[in-house]
Chains A and B, each alone.
Chain A
Amino acid sequence: MNNKVNAEAVLEDQELIAKFLKETTLFLGPDPEIMQSHDIMPITDHEVECLEKYTDSHQMASIRDRMQSACDESYEMLEQMGAAPGAKWGDVITGIYSASGDLTIGSAGGVLVFSVLVHHPIKFIIKNWINEPTVGVRQGDGFIHNDSRYGNIHNTDQSMIMPIFHEGKLVCWVASTVHEGENGAIEPGGMPSMAESPFDEGLKMSPFRVVENYEIKKDILTFLQNSVREPKLQYEDMKVKLYACMRLEKRINEILSTDGPGAITACLRSTNDNVMTEVRRRITEWPDMTVRTYGTMDGTLRENALIKVNCTLTKKGNRLIFDFTGSSPEISNRAINTALPGAKGMVSQVFLNHIWPDMPRGQACFAPIEFITPPCSVVNASVDAPNSQSLMAIFLSFAVAQQAVAKFLYSVPVKYTRVIAPWYNMISTFIWGGVSQHGEMLGNLCADLNGMGGGARMDMDGEHSLAPIFAAMADIGEQEMNEEDVPFLQLVSKKMTRNTQAPGKYRGGMGYTQIVATKDSDMWGFMTTCVGSKAPSIQGLFGGYACGTYPLCKVEDVDVYDVMLKEPEKFKHSIEETMNEQPYEDAKYTTHHMGLGFSISNRGELYMISQGSGGGYGDPLERDPFLVIKDIEENLITPDWARKLYHVAFDDETLIIDEKATDKLRADYREQRKRQGLPYAEFVKKHVKSEPPKDIPFYGSWNSDMSVVYAGSNDDKRDPQNPGPIYFAHPKDVENVKLEAELESVRKEAGIPPRDNRK
């Protein structure tokens, strides 16, 4: 036999094996090849041809602008017509994708995180459904998707995906994505913190066809409606997303008629290539350096635990590498883990919003940036781990990335934005659900989460309640309008808790307090999903402090609506007064961490939360005394704390600054620092321990040793590359064990025999 025949035979065998395997695949699960990549797809022969043919940069720019305005137009449609609260304030993206599935042009506003993680389901469709005889992809098709293990941020996000054809040939894709909220999970609102496995997370829609010939298939729609708490919302927003896609298709058809399909292909490819070139050029301007930082989640939303998100950021030449090695392993039955795209998406937001806001919204801006994450970690969870509260892991990823990047940016001569301290990073809002005053089943959240405080900047304070970390611009909605639909009132809102801003030369911007109480429903409840009640969730920058911690406060066994009618003077407008003065007799006043599982609230009981502050910037001793007085006048800080933190001398009555005395106070305090500070080596010797604190359940690497990760105790060390499962007991079981032990010892002491001795 000659070699050629032999090679052909081998090839034939390989093809046969591949065909056999494909035909006998029993389950198309989430595809790691697709899910682990955020890169632009390799250039195709067709793209090369088009790039050679269409070289007029004016034509390309014109097509790009038309596509951008098509995205912004369809975005506007979603915002105006979408029924979900998320749609109304911009938790939305519409976009145009290359034929290979890369998001190239996305809508400019709203949640920018989407820019790098809505492409995965399209790549799944391309890889699996185009050539699948039982599925196929045709003009007028619409594919739906929400399972975050196949793409998007989390399972609340639903996409409608539509292929665009020209004379039977696929030219590109369009899609619209909305944070719908409700998805039939174990708790209302779509982001259950109680989920202990992916099967508690409600709808699990891998990409499948729900639209044929531009019409929603009613049988499938009915099934989906039966799977969620808000069936009308499900239908309404599927229609809205479909029409947004159809509008995009209409605009692309207009471009097809003027410029033809080849020009569109060239425009999409060249946009991606040009953006990547520019990103690499900008990275090159940064100093070559390694920056290390970490953040901690102080809980799982069910119990307190210290969970580390570790970040080592290295820049070398035109490469920028985020390495999350040393972060906590995934928690097998807690919802705070994220699929990898979520972590990447949130880090991309740092760039798209805070560093290079002039860059087009699309995959290309983040594609050149490299990412290393340990498998089965909180920032790269396996498909078996729940991730419905992935916000916790991704917001910590954002915070560490933002802090690390600031240390690179300071020295760079050409900046596109200010160097900024970390933004406040938790969604302090009420997620709600139950039966409304109109008898309708509802489950969603208050858009107030968008009022997060901004980080302080290198030349000015942070902005109060400006925007959430995941969007450049987002509305907080009209509370009076909301109250027509939901059976609770925000009794206090848009008011700041005093003395809780992050201090610094420039202080962090503050979020606001919300005090809510249920009114016209016997079946209504709230949940909250934040960490940061024991340890702050962000860091400060260059000598500025982080925010403090923020609890959930409750007042039960009271009906404040009654109080307001009979003794209105008793009602207090701040958490501070309500909790310290306890104005309602016989009421129960309690504090909790911010991981409140969904709980039914009675009429007139108070649920009180405060959003946090962005990080502070610079040494507080350098804060302009006039800014300190301004904060006192604005009731952000009390005079005693202003003196303590900023060492300013002023008259209590007139608030007039004594500049000389201030200089003296500050000079004295600098001397005091020199006395109280220990030389580094001495401090390390005295303070640093070789293991985590014994009585705190700690998860992640300790000190600079990345060879092991701790899993809750100092005896439980795991391999970071293969950590294995970590299960938490139900917090009530933990409490029960304690109570039983206590009861047993009390019985013993009192001489009461056990209730039942048998085991």
Chain B
Amino acid sequence: MKVLMTEYLRIDLDAENWECRVCDHVIGSARGNYKEGLLVYNRDPADIHPHVIDPEKYRFTFCPDKDWVNILEFYCPDCGTQVEVEYAMPGHEPLYDMEVDVDALKEQWSHREELTEASVGPNVKTERHQHNH
């Protein structure tokens, strides 16, 4: 059985591995940090958050200060999907963000049906062109 853990990651409970949901690539042991199986790129904030006002004239420009924050992009090494982004202090280690108790996960899902799509929760939007009279 496989458990969908994030938009791009799932855990294969039998093999006890993290897998990429886009290309099925095996990223690493589910008992470890999935980031260790990914590629990391230190992105210049100005590539994502443009200087809306002229950086030659102004100190604060809508673009984060790259001496104060780094944008770490984590990619699947097989399909290049951007699995996670972490805004990190420069030089700070990336976080071991999801440390899963695999045995508990196995026990929990032994009582559940496998899901191939994540549930999204109740729909609160009303249909357009609906006749309410």
Question: What 0/1 readout, one digit per residue, does chain A (486-518) give for beta carbons within 8 Å of chain B?
Answer: 000000000001111001010000000000000
Size category of the binding interface on chain A: 35 or more
Q: Pick the contact of A619 from B71, B81, B95, B105 — CB < 8 Å?
A: B81
Q: Which of A142-181 contact B (CB under 8 A)?
A: none
Residues of B within 8 A of A713 (CB): none
* Minimum Cβ distance to chain A for residue B33 (Å): 8
Question: In the complex the two chains form, is B63's CB within 8 Å of A542's CB?
Answer: no
Question: In the complex the two chains form, is A497's CB within 8 Å of B52's CB?
Answer: yes
- What separation, in Å, do the CA atoms of A43 and B95 have in the docked complex? 42
Q: Which of A373-410 contact B (CB under 8 A)?
A: 407, 410
Residues of B within 8 A of A535 (CB): 64-65, 68-69, 87
Assuming A296-B89, A536-B69, is B112 touching A621 (CB within 8 A)? Answer: no
> Among A111-119, A696-704, A740-748, which stretch is in contact with chain B?
A696-704
- What separation, in Å, do the CA atoms of A360 and B94 have in the docked complex? 38
Residues of B within 8 A of A534 (CB): 60, 64-65, 68-69
Assuming A591-B53, A592-B60, is B119 touching A618 (CB within 8 A)? Answer: no
Question: In the complex the two chains form, is A551's CB within 8 Å of B62's CB?
Answer: yes
- What separation, in Å, do the CA atoms of A542 and B115 have in the docked complex? 19
Question: In the complex the two chains form, is B39's CB within 8 Å of A674's CB?
Answer: yes
Is A548 close to B, CB under 8 A?
yes
Residues of B within 8 A of A610 (CB): 62
* Minimum Cβ distance to chain A for residue B1 (Å): 12
Residues of B within 8 A of A631 (CB): none
Question: What 0/1 readout, one digit per residue, does chain A (533-570) give for beta carbons within 8 Å of chain B?
Answer: 11110011011111111111100000000000000000
Question: In the complex the two chains form, is A289's CB within 8 Å of B68's CB?
Answer: no
Q: Pick the contact of A576 from B35, B53, B63 — CB < 8 Å?
A: B53
Is A413 close to B, CB under 8 A?
yes
Is A620 close to B, CB under 8 A?
yes
Question: In the complex the two chains form, is A674's CB within 8 Å of B77's CB?
Answer: yes
Question: In the complex the two chains form, is A693's CB within 8 Å of B67's CB?
Answer: yes
Q: Pick the contact of A677 from B48, B62, B69, B77 — CB < 8 Å?
A: B77
Q: Which of A461-507 contact B (CB under 8 A)?
A: 497-500, 503, 505
Question: In the complex the two chains form, is A591's CB within 8 Å of B60's CB?
Answer: yes
Is A448 close to B, CB under 8 A?
no
The residue of chain B having its C-beta at the shortest distance from the C-beta of A459 within the complex is B120
Residues of A within 8 A of B121 (CB): 415-419
Q: Which of B52-78 contact A (CB under 8 A)?
A: 52-54, 57-65, 67-69, 71, 73-75, 77
Most B-side CB within 10 Å, residue of A677, A679, A695:
A677
Question: In the complex the two chains form, is B101's CB within 8 Å of A288's CB?
Answer: yes
Question: In the complex the two chains form, is A549's CB within 8 Å of B35's CB?
Answer: no
Question: In the complex the two chains form, is A316's CB within 8 Å of B91's CB?
Answer: no
- What separation, in Å, do the CA atoms of A619 and B64 have in the docked complex? 20
Residues of B within 8 A of A677 (CB): 38-41, 73-75, 77
Task: Describe B's contact surface by its main secondary structure.
Answer: loop
Question: In the complex the two chains form, is B39's CB within 8 Å of A542's CB?
Answer: no
Assuming A418-B120, A549-B64, A702-B92, is B52 touching A575 (CB within 8 A)? Answer: yes
Residues of B within 8 A of A551 (CB): 53, 58, 60-62
Most B-side CB within 10 Å, residue of A287, A579, A669:
A287
- What separation, in Å, do the CA atoms of A293 and B3 have in the docked complex? 22
The residue of chain B having its C-beta at the shortest distance from the C-beta of A304 within the complex is B68
Question: In the complex the two chains form, is B61's CB within 8 Å of A591's CB?
Answer: yes
Is A617 close to B, CB under 8 A?
yes
Question: In the complex the two chains form, is B75's CB within 8 Å of A410's CB?
Answer: no
Question: In the complex the two chains form, is B67's CB within 8 Å of A543's CB?
Answer: no
Question: In the complex the two chains form, is A696's CB within 8 Å of B75's CB?
Answer: no
Assuming A543-B7, A589-B57, A693-B90, is B39 touching A680 (CB within 8 A)? Answer: yes
- What separation, in Å, do the CA atoms of A704 and B88 have in the docked complex? 13
Question: What 0/1 readout, one digit per residue, does chain A (327-365) give for beta carbons within 8 Å of chain B?
Answer: 000000000000000000000000000000000000000
Q: Which of A52-88 contact B (CB under 8 A)?
A: none
Question: In the complex the two chains form, is A287's CB within 8 Å of B89's CB?
Answer: no
Residues of B within 8 A of A620 (CB): 82
Residues of B within 8 A of A671 (CB): 80
- What separation, in Å, do the CA atoms of A118 and B113 have in the docked complex? 42
Q: Which of A279-316 contact B (CB under 8 A)?
A: 287-294, 296, 298, 306, 308, 316
Question: In the complex the two chains form, is B60's CB within 8 Å of A680's CB?
Answer: no
- What separation, in Å, do the CA atoms of A459 and B105 have in the docked complex? 25
Q: Pick the contact of B115 from A289, A413, A417, A703 — CB < 8 Å?
A: A413
Most B-side CB within 10 Å, residue of A293, A411, A539, A591:
A411
Question: In the complex the two chains form, is B81's CB within 8 Å of A579's CB?
Answer: no
Residues of B within 8 A of A687 (CB): 40, 42, 91
Residues of A within 8 A of B99 (CB): 289-292
Residues of B within 8 A of A689 (CB): 90-92
Question: In the complex the two chains form, is B64's CB within 8 Å of A680's CB?
Answer: no
* Minimum Cβ distance to chain B for residue A540 (Å): 5
Residues of A within 8 A of B35 (CB): 680
Q: A677-B75, A693-B91 are in contact. List 14 more A-B contacts (CB 8 A).
A: A287-B105, A407-B6, A410-B4, A411-B4, A416-B122, A536-B87, A543-B84, A545-B85, A546-B85, A575-B53, A620-B82, A670-B80, A673-B73, A689-B92
15 A-B pairs with C-beta separation under 8 A: A293-B97, A296-B69, A298-B68, A410-B4, A542-B8, A575-B53, A576-B53, A591-B58, A618-B7, A672-B80, A677-B74, A680-B94, A683-B42, A684-B93, A692-B89
Q: Which 5 A-B pairs have the closest CB atoms?
A: A677-B39, A670-B80, A551-B60, A548-B49, A689-B91
